[in-house]
Structure 1
Amino acid sequence: MPLSSRRDVSTQSTRPFRSPRRSRARAALVAAVCLSVAAGTAAPALATGPARVAGPQRGTLVSAVELEGMDVAQATAYVKDIGFVAPDAAKNGVDVYRITYRTITATGRPTVASGLVTLPRAASGHGPRRLSTVSYTHGTLAYRGGAGSVADGADRAVTVMFAGAGFAAVAPDYLGLGLGTGPHPYMDIGSETTASVDMLKAARAFEAEKGVIADGKVMVTGFSQGAAAAMGLGRALQREAVPGLRLTALAPVSGPYDLSGAEIPAAFDGRLAPRTATFYLAYVITAWNRLHPLYSSAAEAFRAPYANTVPGLFDGSHPDEEIAAGLPGTPEELLTPRFIERLKHPRGVLARILRTDDAVCTDWAPHAPVRLYDGNLDTDVALANTLSCRHALAANGVDAPVVNAGNVDHTGSALVSYPKILQWFRGLTNRR
C-alpha cells in the first residue's frame, strides 16, 4: 500500500488504507488537467499505431510545473514530519517539479503519464552540475489523486530525502495515476517498466533544461508494488533500455516478487490481514481482467453483490477509504469458490500473467549490488516474497542480502529502510 500521508503520520499503525488528504481546489485542478490531457489540449495529439511506431516519441517531455521549493531546514522537517526513522538532515534545499511525458499503454498505444522530478536546489539554475539519479517507484495506489505528483505525502517525501542528499530524484506515477488517463494497469510489470523507463528519459531532458547533467549512474528503489516495479526497471536498465544510463544499485522494499508462490497463498492462509488481502485481490483481478480477460462476467470471480460494484470501484476516481468501505472483510466473502481455486491452482492466461510478474527476480542476474529490505510484522506483503527473491537471485549467482527493519509493519518497513538506503546509495557514489 502507499506510505502514510504527511498529515496522517501514525507511522506504525496497521490501518491498511491511507491516502493523502487533498483540498477541493486541488481535486478540481487534478480533474481539470486530467480532462485536458484526455481531450488533447494539454499536449499535441499523439500518433496511433503499435509500440514500434511510437518508439521515437517515448520519453519525450510534454510539460513541467514547479510544485514547491524548500530550503535545507524545510526539506529536513518535511521528511521528519512524515515519520521516517532517524533520517539524515538535508544537505541541500530542493525544488519539486511535476512533469508529464510521452509513453505507451500496456497494449503499446501512445499515451501521456506524469511523475515527480526533485532536484537539489544548488542544481537548479546555477550552471551545469553532474548528478547521480535515484528512481523511486511507489506502492499500491487505487486513487489517481494520491500520486506523488499531485498529492503532498510520503511518496513525495522520499524524493525530497534523496534530493536533499544531492541526488536527482525521479518518481513515476505509472499509467493511469496522477495526471495519467484511463485506469491503472495494476501489477502489470510490463507497463510499470515502460512508464519508469520513459520517465527517466523525460527527466534527463528536463534536468538538462535546468542545467543538470545526469552522470549515468541510476540507483533504483521502490516500495511494495514499487519494489517489484524497481526490479523490472533495474532489469531494463541492465539491458540498456536507456542509452547512457546504467544500473548502479537496487534496493527494493517489501515487494510482492512471488505472487504465485508467496503472496497469493498468504492471502488465504492467514499471513496477510484479511481486509488488506481483499483490497489487493479485488484490485489486481479487476486490473488484470481489463488486459487479459479472466472471465466473461464479473459474477464468475466475485460473489453477489460485489460482482455489480467492484469493477467500478477501481476506475481511479475513488479514494482508498471509499473502496475499502465497498469491500467485504475477507477474500472468501469477496470471491467465488471456483475463482479462489483458479488463483490457488492457476492455468492458462492466469498462469502466464503470474509467470511474467514473478520473473522479476528469476530471469536475470543483476550486475549491480542488490539489497532487499523488509520488516517482521508485515501483513500486507508476505515476508516469503523477500526470501523467494533472494533465493532466485542466488540461483543466478547473485548475493542479495536481506536488510531487516525489525518489528515493524508494512509502512514501517519503508519508514525505517529509506534512511538506510540513502546512506548506502551515498556510500556507493561517494556523495557526502
Structure 2
Amino acid sequence: MKKFITQYLLLMVLTISLNAQTSGKYQDAGSSVHYQYITTYDVAKLNKILNAELSEFLNGSSMPFENFKGKFTAPKYPVKLYRVKYNSVIPEKGNKPTVASGLVAIPENGKDSMPIVSYQHGTVFGKTEVPSFIDESMETKLMVAVFASQGYIVTGADYFGLGISTEPNSYLVKESSEQACVDMLFAAKQVLTANKIKQGPLFVHGWSQGGWTNMTFLRKLEELNIPVTAAGTASAPLDAAVTVNRWLNNYQPTDAIWLPGCATNFIFAKDQYEFPGLAARAIKPEYYQVAKDFYEYKIDWKTYFSKTKSKAYEMLTDEFKASGTMANDAFWTRLEEMQAYRWRCRTPLTNYYGESDEVIPVYIARLAEGTHQVLGGGSNTKAISAGPKADHRATYIYSLIHVKPWFDGFLK
C-alpha cells in the first residue's frame, strides 16, 4: 500500500509538471499567431477583483469603493486567460515588421459562440502592466471580471513597445496604435478558431490613453467596414493637440501628479517614431536623461518623480512651449491629425467623463457628442457624466457598471 501511494504521488507530480510545461509553451494558431495559456481565474478570484482588489484600486480616489460596492453583477463563469503573440508592422517606420502581444480571455461556459469586447488599456509606466500580463493590470482584470465572467470574450492589445515587444514605447502614436489593435483583433479570431469558438457581435471599450486609442481604432474599423455593434470610452483625450497644449500651457492645481510622466513619454514616443531630435529640443537638459531612462523603463515612476518636477511645463523648454501657441510646426500639425472625434460615426457610441477628472477636462471628453450633432450624425453618439465627484479612476469604474448592460441590450 505504501509503495502504491508513493507511485501515485510520483505520477501526480509528473502530471502537474507536464501540465505546467504544456501551459508555458506557445501553441500555433496559424499565420504567425501563437498563444500561451497563462492561468484560469475562478469565480472566487473574479469576486475578489470586484471587491477587495477594487477597493485597493480606488484608494485615494474622490469616489472610494463604497460608492460602487454591490453594483456589479456577481461573476458566473471561470475565465481562461491566454497571452497571444502576433506579427504586425509599424506604419511610421515604413511598415517595418514587428512582433506584438495581447490578451484573449475566454469564459468557461460551454458555448461555442460568444460576443467579443476589445479593450484598449490606459496609460502605464511599467512595460508589463498590460493585458497579456494581466496580474499587473488591474484595469484589465476588471474587464475580465465584468465582461468575461458573464460570457463575453475579452481581448486587448498591449501596444508596440509594451508586453513582449522590443520596440520603443508607442505611447499615443496614432497609426501604430491602430495597427496593433487591428492585428490583435485578427490574431484573437485565429485563437478562437483554433479553440473551435465562433466570434459573435463585436464591441469595443477603452479608458484614458485607451479611450483615445479606442476612438481612432473604431474609426479604422469603420474605414475597413468591420462591423462594431457598440462602443464605449472613459476619460478619452479626444483632441490630442488641445490636451497636450493644455498640459504645457495651462497648469491647474487639480492636475494629476503623474502628468509630467505622460508628457515626457509622449515626447519621446514622437521622437522615436516620427520626429528624431524632438526630445532634445523639447525637454530641458537637466531633465532629459531621467526622462529618457523613464521612457526606456530603466527607472520606475518613484525614481522619476523624485528627480523631476510635478508640473509638466517646468520640465520643458520655453521654445517648445511657445511653439504650441500657434501650433503650426510639424509636431503640432501632426497632433492636429491625431484628433479622434471629427467623423460621422456609424457605431452607437457612449463617451463617459468625470466632472472631477484630474487628467481629461470635461470639454475635451464631450467633443464627440457635440461634433457629431453638428455634422448631422444623429443621436447615436452620447457623452454621459459619471458625476460631479468622479475623478479619472472613478470614471472608469462608472463606465464599466453602465456600459455592460448597454452592450447587453444589443444582444437581445
Bin for the TM-score computed over the shorter chain:
0.7 to 0.9
Instruction: Please give the alpha-carbon distance, in whole angstroms, between the structure 1 residues aligned to 2:256 and 2:269.
Output: 20
- Distance in 2 (CA, whole Å) between partners of 1:421 and 1:369 is 12
Equivalent residue runs for 1:12-411 within 5 Å: 60-83=31-54, 85=68, 86-105=71-90, 106-107=92-93, 108-123=95-110, 129-152=112-135, 153-157=137-141, 158-215=143-200, 217-240=201-224, 245-271=226-252, 273=255, 275-293=257-275, 295=277, 298=280, 300-358=281-339, 360-362=340-342, 364-398=343-377, 399=379, 400-406=381-387, 407-411=389-393
Aligned counterpart, 2:14 = none
Cα distance in 2 for residues equivalent to 1:117 and 1:269 = 40
Contact 1:177-1:184 within 8 A present in 2 as well: yes
Q: What is the CA deviation profile of residues 84-118 of structure 1, one whole-angstrom value per residue up to 9, with x for unaligned ones?
A: 73211122221111111111124211111111111
Higher helix share: 2
The one-letter amino acid paired with 1:340 is: K
Which runs of 5 or more structure 2 residues have no equivalent in the other structure?
A: 1-23, 55-64
> Alignment identity in percent?
23
Q: TM-score, normalised by structure 1?
A: 0.79
Distance 1:309 1:43 in 2: 40
Aligned positions, number: 367
Give the Cα–Cα distance (whole angstroms) in 2 for the partners of residues 273 and 233 of structure 1: 27
User: Which fold has the larger relative contact order, with Cα–Cα distance below 8 Å and residues 6 or more apart in sequence?
Assistant: 1
Deviations 1:322-360 (CA, angstroms, capped at 9, x unpaired):
3333321222320111111113332231123212211x2
Alpha-carbon contact 1:183-1:316 (below 8 Å) kept: no
- How many angstroms apart in 2 are the aligned matches of 1:132 and 1:297? 43
2: distance between equivalents of 1:336 and 1:173?
32
Cα deviation per residue 1:42-64 (whole Å; 9 max; x = unaligned)? 999xxxxxxxxxxxx9x945321
1:395 corresponds to which letter in structure 2?
V
1:314 shift after superposition = 0.2
Q: Secondary structure at the match of 2:258?
A: helix
Give the TM-score normalised by the residue count of structure 2. Answer: 0.82
In the alignment, the residues of structure 2 paired with residue 289 and residue 296 of structure 1 have an alpha-carbon distance, to the nearest angstrom, of 5
Measure the CA separation in 2 of the matches of 1:256 and 1:296.
Answer: 22
SS in 2 for 1:393: helix
* Per-residue CA distance 1:222-241 (angstroms, 9 max, x = gap): 00010111111111221226
What is the rounded CA distance, in whole Å, between the counterparts of 1:297 and 1:261 in structure 2?
A: 19
Tell me the CA shift for residue 296 of structure 1.
6.2
Distance 1:246 1:154, change over 3 A: same
- Gaps of at least 5 residues in structure 1 are 1-32, 34-40, 45-56
Preserved contact between residue 265 and residue 344 of structure 1 (Cα < 8 Å): no
Per the alignment, in what secondary structure is the counterpart of residue 133 of structure 2? coil
Q: Please give the secondary structure, in 2, of the residue aligned with 1:149.
A: helix
> Could you give the per-residue CA deviations for residues 172-206 of structure 1, whole angstroms, max 9, x where no partner exists?
10111011112111111211111001001010110
